[in-house]
Amino acid sequence: MKHTFTLLTALLLAPLAALHGADNNKGYVSDKVIANPGAESEDNARTWQGIPGIERAPNGRLWATWYTGGLHEGAAGNYVAVATSGDDGKTWSKPVVLIKGHTEHVMLADPLPWVDPKGRLWIFYLHAPKQKGASGFVGACAVRNDSPNDAVGEWSQPVPVQPGGRIFGKPIVLASGGWLAPFFKNSSSKTPEVKETCTLISTDEGATWTFHGGTSVPLDIRNFSEATLAQRKNGDLWMVIRTLPGLHHSTSKDGGRTWSDPVLLREGPNTRACMMRLASGAFLLVYHDVERPKPGAKFPRNRLAAWLSDDEGRSWPHKLVVDDQKGVSYPDCIQSPDGRIYIAYDQWRYGGPDHNVKDILLAVIREGDIRAGRIASPDARIHQLINRATGIGNIKELEAQSRAKTQMKKPTK
């Protein structure tokens, strides 16, 4: 659809003060969207991968995102990979789109797909220069596909959304019609008046995003304040936040302008969870079901589970262990119109103990499975492969090789 590319290219050329508001200083990015990337999309071209997202087009086509590239996450050369499935996730393409920085010194990370009420597929991601002394835009960016029913579609050029942080939880559509997205503000942000665990709001279908309200996680338990949102029946907003001890939660009673201080929801590993409101009104939480570790040890990223709440997050009586293996983490969730719940997550980003599992995985379940505490629906699928990277040479593999060489050089007694 040529008009999509033309429209968003025109937006890029428009004065940013008019597009985003003069006070936002959003800047410009020149990241590359590479469709049908060829050899770059082969599984052996990636030595590590993780942090996935999942979405569904109006016709049922599924889209998965993750990031990879470079020696490890958070490094120069990281880029976004996008794959798709036309058979409800039973089989998946190699990445059909890559989003890369304009130089190898740029990091693109933390992609998050979202289909808006108009059926358009957005991919939000973090853009950050990694070269020492480099300047330029650091913050959330987005690309958009207005034809996600198609196997590749037409993708816009990347546009900056908000400097100083990242969108790392799916936006929700408020009862008022606005779009509200959780936003984690970097400590180096130039907006000290904005709390770090905050929200962005759009009242013009994503053309502009502005800071709304937020809360602040105490420094001694703060890491990446990755959050997800849901709206309760009475209009209150509820936020679940990643913290060092596990998950905290916060509530807003005024449409997201102000939020309560975070309170512990559940102890567990320091990692992302996914929370959303289902069509039935029940709340879904996907996180880890692990026992408290020994003193001094950390909670492991094992046993991914799904919980249901019938009182909008106040209690969680129903549980299904989705994947009881080790090294599973970072769930992202959606629900299809027929009620099925799709959960994308990763396992052993760097290969695990045997250096051969660098997987993006999918589980498809129903609400009834969670209530039963077991897989009861005939169309459920668990531990299904979306993609496995097979390249060798990530930072942990190189460190292991170095240790092995050192051991070989040691003299024998």
Answer yes or no: is pLDDT of 24 > 50. no
Arithmetic mean of pLDDT, 65-78: 96
Lowest mean per-residue pLDDT among 149-158, 182-191, 327-336, 370-379: 182-191
Arithmetic mean of pLDDT, 247-275: 98
Our CA dihedral for 73, 78, 84, 88, rounded to 10 degrees, sits at 10
Answer yes or no: is pLDDT of 192 > 80. no
Answer yes or no: is pLDDT of 4 > 60. no
- What's the pLDDT score for residue 61? 99
Beta strands in 78-208 (DSSP E): 79-85, 97-100, 106-115, 121-129, 139-145, 159-163, 165-167, 172-173, 179-185, 197-202
* Cα separation values, 215 from 168, 218, 250, 252, Å: 16, 10, 8, 10
Q: What phi and psi, each to the nearest 5 degrees, are found at residue 216?
A: -130, 125
User: What's the residue count for the chain?
Assistant: 413
Rounded distance, CA 197 to CA 225, Å? 6
Answer yes or no: is pLDDT of 336 > 60. yes
Give the model's confidence band at 410: pLDDT under 50 very low, under 70 low, under 90 confident, else very high: low
- What's the pLDDT score for residue 94? 97
- What's the pLDDT score for residue 354? 84
Beta-carbon contacts of 409 under 8 Å, excluding residues fewer than 6 positions away, are: none
- What's the pLDDT score for residue 135? 64
- What's the pLDDT score for residue 406? 78
Token pair 């094992």 is found at: 302
Lowest mean per-residue pLDDT among 12-16, 65-69, 267-271, 389-393: 12-16
- Name the 3-class secondary structure at 27: coil
Arithmetic mean of pLDDT, 344-354: 96
- Count of H-run helices and E-run strands, the chain: 4, 26
Arithmetic mean of pLDDT, 40-65: 98
**Residue 109: closest CA among 306, 349, 270:** 349
Give the model's confidence band at 33: pLDDT under 50 very low, under 70 low, under 90 confident, else very high: very high
- Name the 3-class secondary structure at 43: helix
Note the maximum CA span of the chain. Answer: 75
Answer yes or no: is pLDDT of 7 > 80. no
Answer yes or no: is pLDDT of 9 > 50. no
**Mean pLDDT, the chain, as a whole number?**
91
Share of the chain above pLDDT 90, in %: 84
Q: Model's pTM, two decimal places?
A: 0.92
Angle at 129 between CA 158 and CA 328, to 5 degrees: 80
Arithmetic mean of pLDDT, 45-61: 98
Residue 40, both tokens: 């770059």
Answer yes or no: is pLDDT of 119 > 50. yes
Our CA dihedral for 62, 68, 73, 78, rounded to 10 degrees, sits at -120
CB 237 within 8 A of CB 256: yes
What is the number of alpha carbons within 13 Å of residue 375 lying toward its C-beta? Answer: 13
Share of the chain above pLDDT 70, in %: 91
pLDDT tens sequence across 232-244: 999 999 999 999 9
**Residue 361: closest CA among 396, 323, 317, 412:** 323
pLDDT tens sequence across 78-108: 999 999 999 999 999 999 999 999 999 999 9
Give the model's confidence band at 134: pLDDT under 50 very low, under 70 low, under 90 confident, else very high: low
* Cα separation values, 186 from 1, 35, 143, 190, 223, Å: 36, 31, 21, 9, 11
Classify the phi-psi angles of 331: left when phi > 0, otherwise alpha if psi is within -120 to 50, otherwise beta.
Answer: beta
Answer yes or no: is pLDDT of 133 > 80. no
